[in-house]
Amino acid sequence: MDSPKRLATRNANMERIKSTARELLAAKGASALSLREVAREMHQTSSALYRYFPTRDDLLTALILDSYNELGAAAEAAAAAHEDTGHRWRSTCHAIRSWAKEHPHEYALIFGSPVPNYQAPQDTIAAASRVTLALGSILAARFVDQPTPPAPVDPRYVSVLEWESLEEFIPNVPRPVAARAILAWSDIFGFLSFELFGHFVGSVRDADALFALLLDDLEELLHL
């Protein structure tokens, strides 16, 4: 077993490698990332990095896990900061947007174009689910001991949604609202992708105001 000092040194070296990799992400994008490039930036040999990350995919996975966990932690903290459902919803959505704007390259890594020849392993699923569960917990809390919306599930949703998976992530949420939650989730992250990747240029004057309007509409959609 490694000594605490040896383990601390190893962790520090891994963080240095990941920090350099993030700089390369910002400069060249995920598709250009390689252990050789990272080693060159650190004035190291590639073999020195193999002890920490045997392949480029291992390094990419570590960066993806960090990004998902940082975003999830931001969403969870915002969701826990208020008791009122509406405030929790808005606070969490604003926290997601703030993190994305502060970490655009990490956002692009997890929500942008897939990295060629990279297949994310199963152990990224738990980290990727954190932000979904944070939003889902708000919806679930809204319907505890409260009557469900009277409207049935729109039949158009029945054959296209994975109900078992949805109910795992947002348990105790009525199906009409769970169906709408998919629309809300895609609206939020679609907005962020448009904003961060420059697709609002020439069409949106005030992104802050537009995001506030989006949250108004989604609150109504979700019966919040």
pLDDT tens, 55-70?
Answer: 999 999 999 999 999 9
Question: Helix, strand, coil: what percent of the chain each, to 5?
Answer: 70, 0, 30
- 19: alpha, beta or left, given left = phi > 0 and alpha = psi -120 to 50? alpha
In this predicted structure, the answer to whether residue 150 has a pLDDT above a threshold of 60 is no
Q: Domains of the chain, with CATH numbers?
A: 1-54 (1.10.10.60), 57-221 (1.10.357.10)
- 119: alpha, beta or left, given left = phi > 0 and alpha = psi -120 to 50? beta
Structure-model confidence comparison of residues 70 and 31, the more confident one: 70
Q: For position 31, what pLDDT does the model report? A: 87
Q: Name the pLDDT band for 200 (thresholds 50, 70, 90).
A: very high
DSSP 39: H
Query: What tokens does 129 get?
Result: 């689910």
Pick from 1-10, 17-26, 158-167, 180-189: least confident:
1-10
As a whole number of angstroms, the distance between CA 67 and CA 72 comes to 8
Q: For position 164, what pLDDT does the model report? A: 86
Q: Name the pLDDT band for 149 (thresholds 50, 70, 90).
A: low
Q: Which amino acid, residue 66? A: D
Q: For position 1, what pLDDT does the model report? A: 58
pLDDT tens, 92-113?
Answer: 999 999 999 999 999 999 999 8
The mean pLDDT value for 198-220 works out to: 95
The terminus-to-terminus CA distance of the chain in angstroms comes to 52
Q: What is the 3-state secondary structure (H, E, C) of 44-92?
A: CCHHHHHCCCCCHHHHHHHHHHHHHHHHHHHHHHHHHCCCCHHHHHHHH
